[in-house]
Structure 1
Amino acid sequence: MPIARYKQLVDRYAAEIRDGRLAPGTRLPTHRQLAASEGLALVTASRVYAELEAMGLVSGETGRGTFVREAALPRGLGIDQQAPAAGVVDLNFNYPALPGQADLLRSALRQLAASGDLEALLRYQPHGGRPHERALISEHLLTRGLNVTSEQVLIVDGAQHGLATTVMALLRPGDVVAVDALTYPGFKVLAEQQRLELLPLPASGQGPDLDVLESACGRRRVKAVYVMPTLHNPLGWVMSASRRRRLASLVRRHGLLLIEDAAYAFLVTDPPEPLAALAPESTVYVSGLSKSVATGLRVGFVAAPSELIPRIERAIRATTWNTPGVMTSIATGWLADGTVARLEAEKRRDAEMRQALAAQILHGLRTRCHPSSYFIWLPLPEDVRADRTAKVLMQAGIAVSTAEPFATGSHVPHALRLALGSVPPDHLTRALERVRQEVEAPML
């Protein structure tokens, strides 16, 4: 059976891209030009490019055309957490740590070994955590402006696990979830795994465009909204109190589930009250200690309306049964003795120092950030392609993320997301200087 004409074109383009005859960044003919030159129907020409895009070889950019992608970048860059290769400066992922944290762990382990509670930690724990540990987290959430009972708190294996159990428990395949057009990649992975439909909301100032959300709710059966109101990743905004009130009103009016991700909220001093305090009957609040204490700690927490707790608890049972008793005991002990509060304050100061350093080095470039966050959003000039820039930086031993892992719609801006919290300040300085050099090079 002869190979379909469109398939022959797909194979030809794929071969030319893979062997370098079509270089990364090459603009391909428009759909109409391809159809005319090859004697195809327009729909067939569009199918050619759709298959090439599915193969990861090209990217379609609204208003600009179809371009050959940079295939040399590692697959999953910006989504899959991997230990950086030796000598690579990691501006891709954040795992902020402070001097002396290892000594804190040694001390905590010694104290735990001497405690009378050690044998209990060897047994299965309640699915949502032991009551006294849930009470400590409830007290901790009061410092975040959230007043919930210990029965409304569940302990999970980090914030990502909290998001996963929330999605598994409360959403179903095909449900429509409104998200920012640029959002946390971990939620995108969850949505794909659970076969959710993501509805992108464009940015409007310091938050998502709520007019678009309201219009969408009038046209579609939107089930939930996923937001990061206090220190958005990657854009660094803190949603205003008035915008939060309007979002809470929309959630109530349309009967939506609101998932509030507060993983980076500890970095913001005196933020507006959480959405979970404004719409407590509709909001699941998710956070953890990975960023504020250590990524390897893997202790997080979910606060939810009482009627949703049993369903989320079942999802915890189905995934991990319960959190590791030893790690949870250490984490809640640090909450009780003030260690977590001290580390959070020190990391705010550390993030502020790194942002000031970055502002000095990147002065004059368009950036979006918060003065105490661990990341920067760097939109690129019109003639600079993100995939090419990321490749050149990778060859120079610097790992950065493009916008692609964060994009939930068809439009993927040419931008870089720079994580500031994973390398020593002197390494960060040199890496940011090289980033600036590469961004400005095509303009020279």
Structure 2
Amino acid sequence: MTNWLPDPETITRPAYRSLVQAIELAIQHGDLKPGDQLPPHRKLAFDLKLSVQTVSRAYDKLTEAGRVVGEVGRGTFVRGAQDDIPVPFVSRKTADRVLDMSLIKPVLDQTHDIAMEKVLRSMARSLPQAVLSGFRPDELQDEEPESARRWLKLCGVDTGSSGVVVTNGSTSAMSMALMTAAQAGDLILTEDVGHHTLRSLTRYLGMRLEGVHVDSEGICPDALERRCLQEPVKALYLMPGGTNPLGFVMSAQRRARIVDIARRFDILIVENHAWGPLLQGPPPLAALAPERVLFFTSLTKSILPGLRVGYLVVPDHLARAAANRHLVMNWMATNLMTEIAYRWIMDGTAENLLERQRSALSDRANVVENLFRGLDYTMAPNGLHVWLNTDCIEQEQHLVDTARRMGVAVAAGASFSIGPHENHTGIRIALGGLSFPDFSQGIRIIAGIMADEPTLNAR
């Protein structure tokens, strides 16, 4: 812990703002360096003759500004560049020189080109005026609800008693859901291996994020309940349907237990179902507890990357709050994209492309199963990626580096760690994005590395 302490004489009213400025100056002048631990709230309050609430408010403001980061059970630390989570995919320039299996994309072929050309020609002939001139979120309401209901029904969600917000894909929906479910300072729990942007997003929103241990079915109910008994939890962020990097699919029994815990402790659930109806499994959490689940999905990963259209389903009592936050952050979903989604869903194109996606991913899963025989890996049925375990952090990085030298980019498990990284080490390998020959070559290269160095997968 650093010995730094601001001069009490420089603290003026409002004290929390003055303390924020003092810490900001100390960081700028190098008196506080990245990684330095700030004094505990109570100690600093005692030394400066301030209330604990004043110090907490100052730390909260610094957290919101991204200057410090709080770690549950450890303290508050000055942020450095290393605190930003590395993206799990390679840059576009680098991707031109490697087989990029780091970025999750659906399998694309000429069918997608034909479908897009057809819908654009149709739109050129009969485009509703509201698509061009609509400037308010309610100006396309006659069309959007029906297409949204159809897509969500394919996902297993009945929107009869819930509000639906049309968004620009899952990223937008994810932000809106968290902003609706919680406020700055609230504690959010999630799987200890999860969405690669969640840690940064909650930090920017001033929320506290903590990972809870997962097993082969997802977040562990006993560990979750123990944490809920320690202090109030505002929301759970979960990826139960195979989209989690570890590739697990939560069983119906596990989902029921999680919902029971959420109800007993009055916790909201944000359910990430970004791959839509591509994955088929037990009913979503939103179907089990519609009164407390904020569910979002999109067409981006299951249909077409450029189709940035998503749907956020919220309980009735949160519908107005979600709509207001979407209005402030995005105003409305892009008209042209929502029109394409509407037409594809209503005329059956979306479901046809969905079935082609399932078939293509099944073919690729067969390749993985044949070449990865004997290896420790996880892959959800119809999933867009495979998780390949390693024995430790060092072996994970060695596998990433070796694959890269041999022309294949994969995502390191470190990009997805929210709890202790050593609990779940491995790599995520995307199954889509590449042509079938390139995909097969990439899988063969990785399988060859594992055959040459079997200790990389020694669990």
Contact 1:179 1:200 in 2 (8 A): yes
* Cα distance in 1, alignment partners of residues 285 and 161 from structure 2: 19
Counterpart for residue 205 of structure 1: 216
Counterpart for residue 177 of structure 1: 188
Contact 2:272 2:295 in 1 (8 A): yes
Letter in 2 for 1:169: T
Change (3 A) 1:261 1:114: same
Percent of pairs identical after alignment? 25
TM-score of the superposed pair, with normalisation by structure 2: 0.77
* Cα distance in 1, alignment partners of residues 139 and 367 from structure 2: 41
Counterpart for residue 316 of structure 1: 326
| Aligned: 1:330 with 2:340 | yes
TM-score of the superposed pair, with normalisation by structure 1: 0.79
Q: How does 1:372-391 map to 2 (within 5 A)?
A: 372-381=382-391, 385-391=395-401
Query: Of 252, 257, 271, which aligns to 2:263?
Result: 252
Q: How does 1:30-179 map to 2 (within 5 A)?
A: 56=82, 76-78=86-88, 82=92, 84-96=94-106, 97-118=108-129, 120-126=131-137, 130-149=141-160, 152-179=163-190
For residues 390-440 of structure 1, what are the alpha-carbon distances to aligned partners after superposition, in whole Å with 9 as ceiling and x for unaligned?
123223221111111111013344311111111112111211121123334
For residues 171-230 of structure 1, what are the alpha-carbon distances to aligned partners after superposition, in whole Å with 9 as ceiling and x for unaligned?
212211110111111323322221322221111331210111111111111110011121
For residues 274-329 of structure 1, what are the alpha-carbon distances to aligned partners after superposition, in whole Å with 9 as ceiling and x for unaligned?
11111111011100000111111110001111121111111111122111111101
* Cα distance in 2, alignment partners of residues 276 and 95 from structure 1: 25
Letter in 2 for 1:91: M
Change (3 A) 1:142 1:135: same
Q: Decide which moves more: 363-372 or 218-227.
A: 363-372
Unaligned stretches of 5+ residues in structure 1: 12-46, 58-73
Counterpart for residue 239 of structure 1: 250
* Cα distance in 1, alignment partners of residues 389 and 270 from structure 2: 28
For residues 248-276 of structure 1, what are the alpha-carbon distances to aligned partners after superposition, in whole Å with 9 as ceiling and x for unaligned?
1111111101011111242223x211111
Contact 1:79 1:186 in 2 (8 A): no
> Shift in Å at residue 54 of structure 1?
5.5
* Cα distance in 2, alignment partners of residues 79 and 218 from structure 1: 37
Change (3 A) 1:131 1:258: farther
Counterpart for residue 416 of structure 1: 427
Change (3 A) 1:78 1:161: same
Partner SS state of residue 193, structure 2: coil
Counterpart for residue 433 of structure 1: 444
* Cα distance in 2, alignment partners of residues 262 and 383 from structure 1: 29
Query: Of 290, 300, 309, which aligns to 2:300?
Result: 290
Letter in 2 for 1:204: D
Contact 1:155 1:323 in 2 (8 A): yes
Partner SS state of residue 143, structure 2: helix
Change (3 A) 1:420 1:276: same
> Shift in Å at residue 81 of structure 1?
7.0
Letter in 1 for 2:370: Q
Q: Count how many residue pairs are aligned between Structure 1 and Structure 2.
A: 382
> Shift in Å at residue 443 of structure 1?
4.5
Change (3 A) 1:383 1:338: closer
Unaligned stretches of 5+ residues in structure 2: 5-29, 35-73
* Cα distance in 1, alignment partners of residues 103 and 352 from structure 2: 23
Change (3 A) 1:260 1:382: closer
Change (3 A) 1:407 1:162: same
Change (3 A) 1:238 1:81: farther
* Cα distance in 2, alignment partners of residues 127 and 375 from structure 1: 37
Q: What's the RMSD between the two structures over aligned residues?
A: 2.8
Partner SS state of residue 110, structure 2: coil
Contact 1:160 1:186 in 2 (8 A): no
* Cα distance in 2, alignment partners of residues 305 and 125 from structure 1: 23
Contact 1:128 1:154 in 2 (8 A): no
Counterpart for residue 190 of structure 1: 201
Counterpart for residue 15 of structure 1: none
